[in-house]
């Protein structure tokens, strides 16, 4: 080793648990050269060990080095050394017989500090769990994103991935201890975000289910399992693990083994047994055994809920009016909007926020699905009555008798009912409360759902600021801020539709090496836009197809013809000309398309209605025209 190795570096700090950051004597040191940062990352990832020259060459040139690579590496290292010396850090990069190594003072590298915290936490977790959580949290607080997230070198990424995996494992261990210590309510939010970000990390889902169950939110815990089972089957063709299936069944059965164990004397090894290994024990207080259950069936709230401030406020006012304005009626609100607009997310978000106003429970039922089928009213009522604690043997068979028992149970109670995806033909009357004090939220894709006394709120696309906020939440604020024009274009291409935005944002989140510009370029091509707005079978095309299939053949034909117009904004007479019908007939047809959420309508300055077709709808309909009527005479349509 050369003499330079004997000169100790001064006050210096290296951070690689996120983008690479360097500080000398508290002042940031910027290394602009990508090659120098790659070399530095390789040396820091193997801190304290010499990195062979061959590995550094492969890292800098991604396994395709030029013939002058060795000289180029020497020049790169020389320039890197000069940067450190000039900053007052001394000789940080030193020569070794096999290559180079980096000299960093103790505690100067965040990776080492993280590993020390995790090592200590692991050693004391069985005897001092609370202290162990403190060490895990201290280590995890050192992270500011994925390890060396600003470098995409093929040689750097494997080591970075090992660090990232270590971080996730530490989070899992920490959360296990937190659950054991009775902090289930405090970790629900964190676990919700982790499940959304790491969709195939089953242990986070198990922890979230347990946390929700212990927080009295069993319905949400079961919904976490349902979503995981669907995702697993769609993406991998597999069922959840036997461990998760057993937890799911235990929640359904109300198994006492899921309750928190009695805390043993502080310091004993038994105090750190993992939750799954705890011997079944009763909850403290024998009176709970005979308590009447309070149903809490709202699904898990959507993470990253943004915007909708006015709609949220309106919905809350209608569900919980001021005391001096409260009417002696059941509050009934219908949220309408095309699939993918976020009706369910809005209903569930507001439902959770007003849950305290309905202390006797919250009931939820997904009435319809994208296949066009719907659940039997009697089946829904049976599930609700069982959730209310009524034995299955006491529940009558007939729909009318079940509805009567349901309304009797609701009498004098304050319960919120959420009916999701109600179709135009579905009769919700048996599911509605009959006495004041309760409230109902109905979501529907059709404006034709008729409910006497209902307030109606339309859920449309997000505005540009809210849509940009959603994308920023999904891909990271720093990444979004670095390409603001690209984010604005994505919002435009997605039409502000939450489903489209979430698909686009999730694609970028799963591809951290992509620039926003890459996805922007793909979506800019209208011929492939709907193909790109697909992630794991969840796609915008399916929601449009659902609305399209529900139309008569005449209305589908009108839409295909309208898609060939040279404008997306047109008067009623344009539809009359396109279909060769009188104006009144055209107006009636257009009204049905507005109700189906495939057209929007506004009143122009001259008082006449103007109809508008969203861009994604237009693209879908042009696909349908090319498929179903390839010989349609465009000139005949365009004459209007």
Tens-digit pLDDT profile for residues 344-373: 889 998 999 898 889 989 999 888 765 556
In a domain, 286, yes or no: no
Q: Are residues 80 and 137 in the same domain?
A: yes
Q: Are residues 504 and 426 in the same domain?
A: no
CB distance 9 to 95 below 8 Å: no
Q: Are residues 151 and 76 in the same domain?
A: yes
In a domain, 522, yes or no: yes
Q: Are residues 169 and 190 in the same domain?
A: no
Q: Are residues 20 and 141 in the same domain?
A: yes
Q: Are residues 229 and 110 in the same domain?
A: no
In a domain, 302, yes or no: no
Return the pLDDT at 307.
86
Q: Are residues 252 and 213 in the same domain?
A: yes
CB distance 632 to 561 below 8 Å: yes
Task: Tell me whether residue 282 is exposed, middle or buried, using C-beta atoms within 10 angstroms of its C-beta: 0 to 12, 13 to 18, 19 or more.
Answer: exposed
> What are the φ and ψ backbone dihedral angles of 12, each rounded to 5 degrees?
-140, 145
Look at the block and give the residue holding tokens 């000169």: 7
Low-confidence ranges of the chain (pLDDT < 50): 1-9, 262-291, 638, 640
CB distance 421 to 394 below 8 Å: no
In a domain, 31, yes or no: yes
CB distance 212 to 224 below 8 Å: yes
Q: Are residues 255 and 326 in the same domain?
A: no
Ramachandran area for residue 29 (φ above 0: left; ψ -120 to 50: alpha; else beta): beta
Task: Tell me whether residue 549 is exposed, middle or buried, using C-beta atoms within 10 angstroms of its C-beta: 0 to 12, 13 to 18, 19 or more.
Answer: exposed
Q: Are residues 441 and 343 in the same domain?
A: yes
Return the pLDDT at 425.
72
Domain CATH for 323: 3.40.50.300
Residue 570 structural domain:
551-638
Q: Are residues 84 and 108 in the same domain?
A: yes
CB distance 415 to 360 below 8 Å: yes
Contacts 24+ apart (CB under 8 A), 554-558: 554/579, 554/589, 555/589, 555/592, 555/593, 555/596, 556/624, 556/628, 557/629, 558/589, 558/593
Domain CATH for 246: 1.25.40.10
- C-alpha 192 chain-centroid distance: 9
Q: Are residues 16 and 164 in the same domain?
A: yes
CB distance 435 to 460 below 8 Å: no
Of 510, 541, 572, which one is at a domain's C-terminal end? 541
In a domain, 528, yes or no: yes
How far is CA 249 from each of CA 19, 218, 566, rounded to the nearest angstrom?
43, 11, 57
Domain CATH for 116: 1.10.10.10
In a domain, 289, yes or no: no
Of 458, 480, 498, which one is at a domain's C-terminal end? 458
Total domains, the chain: 5
CB atoms within 10 A of CB 291: 9
In a domain, 209, yes or no: yes
Distance CA 163, CA 143 (A): 10
Q: Give percent of the chain above pLDDT 70.
A: 88
Q: Are residues 342 and 385 in the same domain?
A: yes
In a domain, 204, yes or no: yes
H-helix segments, 142-261: 156-180, 184-197, 202-214, 218-236, 242-253
Distance CA 217, CA 373 (A): 28
Of 458, 487, 502, which one is at a domain's C-terminal end? 458
Tens-digit pLDDT profile for residues 395-414: 888 899 999 999 999 988 89
């Amino acid at each position: 080793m050369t003499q330079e190795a004997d000169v100790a570096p001064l006050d210096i700090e290296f951070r690689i648990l996120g983008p690479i950051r360097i500080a000398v004597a508290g002042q940031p040191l910027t290394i602009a050269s990508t090659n120098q940062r790659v070399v530095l990352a390789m040396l820091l990832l193997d801190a304290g060990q010499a990195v062979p020259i061959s590995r550094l060459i492969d890292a800098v040139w991604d396994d395709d080095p030029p013939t002058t690579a060795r000289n180029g590496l020497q020049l790169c290292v020389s320039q890197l050394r000069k940067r450190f010396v000039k900053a007052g850090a001394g000789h940080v990069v030193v020569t070794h017989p096999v290559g180079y190594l980096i000299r960093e003072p103790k505690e100067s590298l965040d990776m080492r500090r993280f590993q020390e915290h995790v090592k200590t936490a692991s050693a004391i977790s069985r005897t001092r769990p609370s202290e162990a959580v403190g060490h895990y949290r201290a280590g995890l607080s050192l992270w500011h994103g994925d390890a060396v997230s600003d470098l995409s070198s093929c040689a750097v990424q494997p080591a970075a991935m090992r660090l990232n995996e270590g971080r996730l494992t530490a989070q899992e261990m920490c959360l296990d201890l937190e659950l054991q210590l009775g902090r289930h309510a405090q970790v629900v939010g964190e676990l919700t975000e982790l499940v959304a970000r790491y969709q195939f990390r089953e242990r986070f889902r198990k922890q979230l289910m347990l946390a929700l169950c212990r927080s009295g939110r069993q319905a949400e815990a079961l919904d976490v399992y349902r979503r995981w089972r669907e995702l697993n089957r769609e993406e991998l063709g597999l069922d959840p693990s036997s461990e998760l299936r057993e937890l799911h069944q235990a929640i359904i059965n109300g198994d006492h083994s899921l309750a928190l164990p009695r805390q043993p004397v502080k310091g004993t090894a038994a105090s750190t047994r993992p939750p799954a290994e705890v011997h079944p024990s009763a909850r403290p207080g024998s009176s709970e055994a005979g308590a009447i259950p309070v149903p809490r069936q709202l699904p898990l709230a959507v993470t990253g809920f943004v915007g909708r401030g006015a709609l949220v406020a309106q919905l809350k006012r209608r569900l919980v009016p001021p005391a001096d304005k409260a009417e002696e009626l059941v509050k009934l609100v219908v949220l309408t909007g095309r699939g993918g607009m976020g009706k369910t997310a809005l209903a569930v978000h507001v439902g959770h926020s007003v849950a305290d106003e309905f202390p006797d429970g919250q009931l939820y039922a997904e009435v319809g699905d994208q296949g066009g089928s719907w659940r039997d009213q009697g089946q829904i009522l049976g599930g609700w009555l069982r959730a209310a604690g009524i034995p299955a043997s006491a529940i009558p068979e007939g729909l009318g008798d079940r509805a009567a028992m349901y309304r009797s149970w609701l009498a004098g109670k304050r319960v919120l009912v959420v009916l999701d995806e109600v179709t135009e033909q579905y009769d919700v009357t048996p599911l509605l409360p009959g006495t004041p004090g309760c409230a109902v939220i109905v979501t529907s894709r059709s404006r034709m759902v008729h409910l006497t006394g209902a307030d109606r709120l339309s859920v449309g696309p997000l505005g540009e600021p809210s849509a940009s906020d959603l994308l920023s939440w999904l891909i990271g604020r720093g990444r979004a801020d670095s390409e603001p024009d690209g984010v604005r274009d994505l919002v435009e291409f997605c039409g502000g539709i939450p489903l489209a935005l979430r698909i686009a944002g999730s694609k970028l989140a799963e591809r951290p090496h992509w620039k926003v510009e890459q996805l922007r370029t793909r979506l800019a091509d209208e011929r492939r836009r709907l193909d790109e707005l697909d992630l794991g079978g969840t796609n915008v095309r399916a929601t449009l197809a659902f609305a399209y299939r529900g139309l008569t053949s005449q209305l589908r034909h009108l839409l295909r013809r309208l898609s060939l117009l040279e404008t997306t904004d047109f008067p009623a007479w344009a539809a009359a000309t396109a279909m060769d019908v009188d104006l009144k007939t055209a107006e009636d047809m257009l009204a049905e398309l507005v109700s189906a959420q495939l057209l929007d309508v506004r009143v122009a300055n001259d008082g006449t209605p103007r109809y508008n077709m969203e861009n994604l709808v237009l693209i879908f309909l042009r696909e349908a025209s090319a498929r179903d009527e390839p010989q349609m005479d465009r000139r005949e349509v365009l004459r209007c």
